[in-house]
Structure 1
Amino acid sequence: MLDRTIPADQPLLVAEHLSKSYGRLQACRDISFKLYPGEVLAIVGESGSGKSTLLQMLSAQLAPSTGTVSYRMRDGVLRDLAALGEAERRFLFRTDWGYVHQDPAQGLRMAVSAGANVGERLMAVGWNHYGKIRDTASSWLSRVEIAQDRIDDAPRTYSGGMRQRLQIARNLVTEPRLMFMDEPTGGLDVSVQARLLDLLRGLVTELGLAAVVVTHDLAVARLLSHRVMVMQGGRVIETGLTDQVLDDPHEPYTQLLVASILPA
């Protein structure tokens, strides 16, 4: 279900000369790129490379020291996120954006039911019919491979993989145009990771989502993304189509990453 409100040749998200400093420490340095509708970009690098700081700036959770992030609204106008009011940013997160945290407890309300976690997002965009909300929540649980009879159970009773799938359902139920994912398979067993990646790839393709995925796992980048940016020391040192970068890396650091020599 591709988004038709924006022509495919017009970028959805634009980063221009983004930098972030903490005193003398430069976490990100002069990063620019464009993300187009339906495109999945993976940001890869070892711990401390600046990739998570970049994701927080792109999702308006962290103000850049210099540079801008702009987002194309549904009216087609590209807006500087720094110029948006707090209410406008919250509205984006309820409607156009989703954010999948590495720890699903950060993206879920652990004390309420799974159905309430999904239904809460629908109510935030104006749904008020209890039956329709519950039916839609139940349908989405099935789509992320959670048994519908678990709808009234709290996420704290779920396994780690189920919690992550529930977080995905909560984010996707309002059909956002852009997803941010921070190490979406981190901390899960290998078999659970593989199942989750297959699910994510299918949903992203089916819904025509644009996404920015931060990961240290190149298998995640290869499976999910169209394009890769490799970060080292706060800089983007290599970028290109995923297969090109991972099969024929030019930079020595990228070659080490691909060879799995560097630690995660």
Structure 2
Amino acid sequence: MTVSVRIDQASVEATDLPLMSVRSVSKFYGQRIGCADVDFDIWPGEVLAIVGESGSGKTTLLNCISTRLTPTAGTVSYRMRDGEMRDLYGLGEAERRLLLRTDWGFVHQNPADGLRMTVSAGANVGERLMAVGDRHYGKIRATATDWLGRVEIDADRIDDQPRAFSGGMRQRLQIARNLVTAPRLVFMDEPTGGLDVSVQARLLDLLRGLVHDLGLAVIIVTHDLAVARLLSHRMMVMKDGRVIEHGLTDRLLDDPQAPYTQLLVSSILQV
């Protein structure tokens, strides 16, 4: 019995460690602020929404913490699979690329930015599997078929190219491509943007189920507070490149403290 208790305590301690720590991250474009002095942690299995209107700095921040942009100042540390916390910008280029192909996913607003449009749906998913060492064609195809089913794409579309798909199907394919390698952290940049309302609802339902089932940590950028409420545990509100309010999603949306957040909630959120 004593051994069992010790194991449980060790497990709790492991989950209490953040997966990523962001400290004083700033990005300047000359005199213009992209984002400034941003601090936060994200834990395994947690969904953090970064919200704000266009130009608030949320996408700049997402690109900085996902190594797509180099910040002007600050640090971004990530807990590797061996448990070591590493400064992302102290990693070599090859190490960062490996993270992006394996341990991370990045879901773009425009699916064409996250897919190879001239190869088949199955090949789009299979490429990620090959990046982690899979070489058996039959197993790769079987896994790709399984994941197409999980994102509600018929198996008989596996050899079709994404350019033959609708916008919603492309987005679901991009999600399958990103999640097939069981990443620990997924970045999402306005994943429902540009989609019809009915397609958005279906995609959000799918995302919520996958995030829950797989225990993913997710950082999602959105201007839609209804998306933030549905998907996220915590929310961070940005304005003019700075974080002006940060807290549990339901508390922040039900009882916003900052005047800007109050304005967003009253003018945008439809519940």
Fold shared per TM-score above 0.5: yes
Q: Alignment RMSD, CA only?
A: 1.3
User: Is 1:18 equivalent to 2:25 in the alignment?
Assistant: yes
| Equivalent residue, structure 2, for 1:209 | 216
Alpha-carbon contact 1:6-1:37 (below 8 Å) kept = no
For residue 89 of structure 2, the aligned residue among 82, 86, 96 is: 82
User: Is 1:147 equivalent to 2:157 in the alignment?
Assistant: no
Cα shift readout 1:16-46 (whole Å, capped 9, x = no counterpart): 0011111100111101011011110000000
Alpha-carbon contact 2:153-2:169 (below 8 Å) kept = yes
Alpha-carbon contact 1:99-1:180 (below 8 Å) kept = yes
Cα distance, 1:260 vs structure 2: 1.9
| Equivalent residue, structure 1, for 2:141 | 134
Asked which structure has the greater CA Rg, the reply is 2
Alpha-carbon contact 2:50-2:220 (below 8 Å) kept = yes
Counterpart secondary structure, 1:7: helix
For residue 115 of structure 2, the aligned residue among 95, 108, 111 is: 108
| Equivalent residue, structure 1, for 2:229 | 222
Cα distance, 1:176 vs structure 2: 0.2
| Equivalent residue, structure 2, for 1:71 | 78
Higher helix share: 2
| Equivalent residue, structure 2, for 1:184 | 191
| Equivalent residue, structure 1, for 2:59 | 52
Alpha-carbon contact 2:225-2:268 (below 8 Å) kept = no
Distance across 1 between alignment mates of 2:40 and 2:13: 18
**Among the aligned pairs, what percent are the same residue?**
73
Distance across 2 between alignment mates of 1:195 and 1:42: 19
Alpha-carbon contact 1:6-1:74 (below 8 Å) kept = no
Counterpart secondary structure, 2:81: coil
Mark the runs of 5 or more structure 1 residues left unpaired by the alignment.
Answer: none
- Look up the equivalent residue of 1:226 and give its one-letter code: H
Alpha-carbon contact 1:5-1:76 (below 8 Å) kept = no
- TM-score w.r.t. length of structure 1: 0.96
Mark the runs of 5 or more structure 2 residues left unpaired by the alignment.
Answer: 1-10
Cα distance, 1:261 vs structure 2: 5.6
- Look up the equivalent residue of 2:135 and give its one-letter code: N
Distance across 2 between alignment mates of 1:193 and 1:106: 19
Distance across 2 between alignment mates of 1:208 and 1:132: 24
Distance across 2 between alignment mates of 1:252 and 1:153: 49
| Equivalent residue, structure 2, for 1:159 | 166
- TM-score w.r.t. length of structure 2: 0.94
Cα distance, 1:6 vs structure 2: 8.2
For residue 43 of structure 2, the aligned residue among 14, 36, 39 is: 36
Counterpart secondary structure, 2:15: coil
Runs of 4+ off more than 3 Å: none
Distance across 1 between alignment mates of 2:268 and 2:143: 45
| Equivalent residue, structure 2, for 1:122 | 129
Cα distance, 1:259 vs structure 2: 1.1
Cα distance, 1:7 vs structure 2: 1.3
